[in-house]
Structure 1
């Protein structure tokens, strides 16, 4: 069954509300849950569904994404036949209304025409979920659907099942039909049989800084992690050789996800701490997301904040955001104690 399915991941979509986290990376490469990237969830879902050939369509900037995925070996996709294929387009005019630019597909039509898989799964890159797509394909075939759209809680997830031959036809006739992507097709006037498959488990859409922060806080709940991180369906990611985290005297940790290689001397509550983060003595980090290699000095207070990669917080600094407006510190910047008053006022 799984050998019938071709995986297509659209990593070209951009959201202006995520600009604070995508200035140096694509949306799909945003770190999440301490040690993962957003691409890991849809990619692992496809791998766990038995899909062996996947096309990743992306646009600039994609260096961070390619560095993370490399040859695809961590997902068992570095193989002689099939595997992971990259189709970057630095100057793609991305249709923000829908997933799967037919223009981008047309530029790489050889991939689809050479594929032996009868069906194609077109998926977005901004949904955090752990889905086995095989039951959806079974329903699609059983009902004789032309297009199956995957839903969650009554809302579309911008994921589509379609015959590969039909997808090729839709791409090649786009000039006559006016369809630019799959959403145009499902919303258009046509004779296709459209079906809906309702996904019952957790699925989170990230399309803004606020939704990224909210989903990160949801991941601190045991019930959510139990649904997403399954022994039988693991979420794969890039493996890094790093030492265990060191909890020095005075460190206090409560309800937090802590990745490898950290040095903790302060207090961490209800937060996600990524790899190689340092938190100094007397510092308190609450309700926050701290990305890789951040350094937080002594006697700091970080509350309701997102610190991007390689941020340095000087001793005595206070950064306070809110649940609806988390304080975002851009990648590689320095935040000092002299900015405290301005920072707090701006985040109230």
Structure 2
């Protein structure tokens, strides 16, 4: 199925509330739900909607994102015609607002070469399943100039418009004072017809540390899981070959998501455990997010905690956060001998 759409993902967004989780990676590449990155959801939505030409406009921290996306093979975007394209910032454009019309227009050749008639512009931190073909059908039926996607009345900063209109906005953005598609939508002076499409499926906007923590644990609810991870609209990600998780004698797991390659000797409750994590004997992990290759040694208690990748927690350590303020441990930290809350 093809909807004749070009996909644009703005992966430049950054929010200070994520603390150290986005210090060395872009928000787009933030790990989520045990084996995914945030960008996987919007990218998979585009692919599942028949979009075969996707441009990702990045910010400065791109190493982790580029490593994750590679050639786009996992999304069937490593192709001779169309495919996956990454556009990073120009080092000579330090004053440019990345993700703006100026950022997009600097890569005008890409848009001129594309054959698609319509464009969907989306952010990198919306989690859920969206069928862009349905939205395009409504866009055409209503003869709108721009269709803005909303969820429960709130914009998810996703838009559909014709490529010709986007190119014309590139040409006049300085004169009109339009620096992004958001400026166009919010301006009441123009004559563009802007319609809203209220998407009724499950949507989560991951724009703060608290939302990241809450929506991660919401995935553990069967009603949410079934909406996000369906057989008809799979979420694709980078595949890694890991052995199955080993549950040793005394291990106890309830209402949790455990990725491959882990060794579980302690107790895990209401938590998300990424790949290759070791949880030692007598340790208890509750209401927590433990990222890849973390090591939790014996007789620890972690409650309301987010461990970034490659963290080591020594014997008998207790770490406690709250639902409103989870306790975050920086990537690569080795913590021994001091309890925190």
Would you call these one fold, judging by a TM-score over 0.5?
A: yes
CA offsets 1:123-150 (integer angstroms, 9 cap, x no match): 0001101111100000001110000000
Q: What's 1:279 paired with?
A: 279
Counterpart residue number, 2:147: 148
Contact persistence 2:6–2:51 (CA under 8 A): yes
1:94–1:150: structure 2 CA closer, same or farther, 3 Å change rule?
farther
3-state secondary structure, aligned to 1:261: coil
User: In structure 2, how many angstroms separate the alpha carbons of the residues matched to 1:14 and 1:172?
Assistant: 27
Shift of 1:19: 3.2
Runs of 4+ that moved beyond 4 A = 90-96
CA–CA separation in structure 2 for the residues paired with 1:291 and 1:90? 32
**CA-to-partner distance for each residue in 1:275-314, whole Å, 9 max, x for gaps?**
0000000000000000000000000000001000000000
C-alpha distance in 2 between matches for 1:307 and 1:332: 9
Residues in 1 aligned to 2:90 and 2:65: alpha-carbon distance in whole angstroms = 14
Q: Is the 8 A contact 1:312 1:332 kept in 2?
A: yes
Match of 1:214 in 2: 214
Matched-pair contact (CA < 8 Å) for 1:121–1:160: yes
Tell me the residue number matched to 2:57. Answer: 57
Counterpart of 2:247? 247
Spell out the pairing of 1:13-32 with structure 2 (5 A cutoff): 13-32=13-32
Equivalent position of 1:136 in the other structure: 135
Counterparts of 1:139 and 1:16, CA distance in 2 = 36
Give matches, 1:180-219, under 5 Å.
Answer: 180-188=179-187, 189-219=189-219
- Measure how far apart 1:95 and its partner are: 4.6
Q: Distance in 2 between matches of 1:37 and 1:90?
A: 25
TM-score by length of 2: 0.97
Shift of 1:94: 6.3
Alignment of 1:1-348 (within 5 A): 2-89=2-89, 91=91, 93=95, 95=97, 100-188=99-187, 189-337=189-337, 339-340=338-339, 343-344=340-341
Q: Is the Cα–Cα contact under 8 Å of residues 20 and 209 in structure 1 kept in the other structure?
A: no
Asked whether the 8 Å contact 1:294–1:309 carries over to 2, the reply is yes
Structure 1 counterpart SS, 2:121: strand
CA RMSD of aligned residues (A): 1.2
Once the two structures are superposed, what CA deviation does each residue of 1:46-77 show, in whole Å capped at 9, x if it has no partner? Answer: 00000000000001111000000100000000
User: Helix, strand or coil for the counterpart of 1:173?
Assistant: helix
When normalised by structure 1's length, the TM-score is 0.95
- SS in structure 2 opposite 1:85? strand
CA distance in structure 1 between the aligned counterparts of 2:22 and 2:56, rounded to whole angstroms = 18
Partner SS, residue 298 of structure 1: coil
Determine the C-alpha separation between the residues in 2 that align with 1:182 and 1:83: 24
Whole-Å separation in 2 of the counterparts to 1:255 and 1:280: 19
Q: Deviations over 1:16-65 (max 9, x none)?
A: 11232101100000000000000100000000000000000001111000
Structure 1 CA distance, aligned partners of 2:96 and 2:248?
Answer: 48
Aligned mates of 2:294, 2:332 — CA distance in 1: 9
| Contact 1:3–1:52 (CA under 8 A) maintained in structure 2 | no
Report the 3-state secondary structure (helix = DSSP H, G, I; strand = E; otherwise coil) of the residue aligned with 1:50. Answer: coil
Moved more, 15-24 or 39-48: 15-24
Q: 1:267 to 1:94 in 2, by over 3 A?
A: farther
| Unmatched tracts of structure 2, length 5 or more | none
